[in-house]
Amino acid sequence: MKQRVLFLSPALLFITLLLFVPFLYLLYLSFMDKDYLYGGPPLASFANYVEAFSNPVYWESIVNTFRIGATVTLATLIIGFPVAYIISVSGKTLATVLTVVTILPLFVSVVVRGFGWIIVFGREGPLNALLQWAGLIDAPVQVLYTETAVIIALTHLLLPFMVLPLLASLKAIDKSVIDAAMVLGSRRRDVFLRVIIPLCSPGFVVGSLLVFLHVLATFVLPAMLGSINIKMIATMIYQQVMIAGNVPAGAALAVILFTFTMLIFGLMGVIRNRISFDSKPQAGGAQ
């Protein structure tokens, strides 16, 4: 036991000094008044939290963040599973190429990618030109600085975080299970829906968790592509701290974001454990 504690002590010290202590200070600031950092008295209250849940602007940012997070998670799941499945059944060369293409965007700066999307979504950009050429629209449409632009860009950014866990789950499936189902007369569609999909459920959970939590904390792309039209928690924290100078209000929003993140993380952990338990052979089963 002592050896384990000694072995883990550097990591525990790192977490305590760089994560736990700053969070405690953040929590402390969230109960202070705006004037506290400018020489005012440290009057503790729940005013910042009451404001966060009663102010329509703050409430809108919370709702927008979770709605966009759910939409992006669903979009990456719909796109990512076919990609992961094709990679898993492809030959070594093709699988390597597809994997590299999938993760390659991660090596591009988010800021650079944001400027690229600004060009694509502009009224004179390639997207509007393509839609007009196809006869789908008569005049350029406003895509930039809308929620649609933010969702598309975040889906592109976070797609690898969905594909990789799904790919790991697909590769972990014992091929003999699929062969046994085929030998017993199951159709390919039934094997896919009743064998492959359930066995990939851990990948679904992990991928959805990674994507959703990234959306909760994302700041750069919503700020670049949504401007002031799309309010999210991270952008509201930045505005309160850096523009309005209201650090306690920003701290309260950060604590709320952290709390929601931990609740989601715990919920997904329970779901994953339940899925893992249900997938194990139960006592008293078929002999």
Q: What class is the 29-277 domain?
A: mainly alpha
What is the per-residue pLDDT across 94-147, written as a single tens digit (0 to 9) for each?
Answer: 889 999 988 888 888 888 999 999 999 988 889 989 989 988 888 888 889 999
Q: Say whether pTM exceeds 0.85.
A: no
Higher pLDDT: 2 or 23? It is 23
Type of residue numbered 115 = F
DSSP 213-273: HHHHH--HHIIIIITTTS--HHHHHHIIIIIS--HHHHHHHHHHHHHHHHHHHHHHHHHHH
Residue-range domain boundaries for the chain: 29-277
What is the per-residue pLDDT across 233-287, written as a single tens digit (0 to 9) for each?
Answer: 888 898 888 888 888 999 999 999 888 888 887 887 777 677 655 555 443 443 3
Tokens of 101: 């293409």
For residues 94 and 180, is the Cβ–Cβ distance under 8 A? no
Q: What is the mean pLDDT of the chain?
A: 84
For residues 152 and 146, is the Cβ–Cβ distance under 8 A? no
Nearest to 255 by CA among 34, 62, 35, 40: 62
For residues 162 and 76, is the Cβ–Cβ distance under 8 A? yes
Give the CA diameter of the chain: 77
Render the burial of 24-38: b for 16+ CB within 10 Å, e for the rest.
eebeebbbbbbebee
The whole-number pLDDT of residue 7 equals: 67
